[in-house]
């Protein structure tokens, strides 16, 4: 009987662990497999979180495709990356395009669009109360 209690305890612990994984990262628990014919890309993180046009950023995640022919990176307000430097299934390096604004970034492949991640753009311009443009800077 003692072994039965231990086994149930281990199974319960495993169930709690897997449930917490799914709660913290729902993409891990999706039914879709990485080897499906048309997997949905997933962005885990963008680094750095603060960039300016012309600067390179790295996007880490999964299911991006094998090379730059697999898709594109789209910045707010709908601009494609200025240049794709490196593209692998789990990592992309791109140049932030001129005109990019603070907001969401997505990876679009031939089949699907990823989740979004946030990128702050340095040195944007905005209008002040008088309607004049002013430069924003986080430095």
Q: Is residue 1 predicted with pLDDT exceeding 80?
A: no
DSSP 47: E
Contact between 122 and 138 (Cβ < 8 Å): yes
Only one residue has tokens 């990262």, namely 25
Residue 139 or 108, more confident: 108
Which one, of 139, 60, 120, 44, lies nearest residue 94 by Cα? 60
Handedness of CA 38, 73, 88, 26 (dihedral sign): negative
d(CA 106, CA 5): 47
pLDDT higher for 111 or 76?
Answer: 76
pLDDT of 31 strictly over 50 = no
- Quote the pTM value: 0.67
| Residue 90 clears pLDDT 80, i.e. is over it | yes
Question: Using 50, 70 and 90 to split pLDDT, how confident is the model at 105?
Answer: very high
């Amino acid at each position: 009987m003692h072994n039965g209690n231990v086994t149930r305890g281990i199974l319960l612990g495993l169930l709690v662990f897997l449930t917490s994984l799914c709660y913290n990262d729902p993409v891990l628990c999706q039914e879709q497999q990485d080897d499906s014919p048309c997997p949905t890309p997933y962005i885990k993180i963008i680094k750095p979180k603060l960039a300016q046009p012309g600067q390179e950023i790295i996007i880490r995640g999964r299911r991006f495709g094998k090379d730059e022919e697999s898709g594109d990176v789209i910045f707010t307000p709908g601009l494609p990356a200025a240049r794709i430097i490196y593209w692998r299934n789990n990592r992309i390096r791109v140049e932030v395009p001129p005109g990019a604004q603070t907001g969401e970034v997505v990876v679009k492949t031939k089949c699907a669009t990823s989740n979004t991640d946030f990128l702050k753009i340095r040195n944007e311009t905005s209008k002040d109360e008088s309607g004049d443009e002013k430069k924003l800077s986080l430095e």
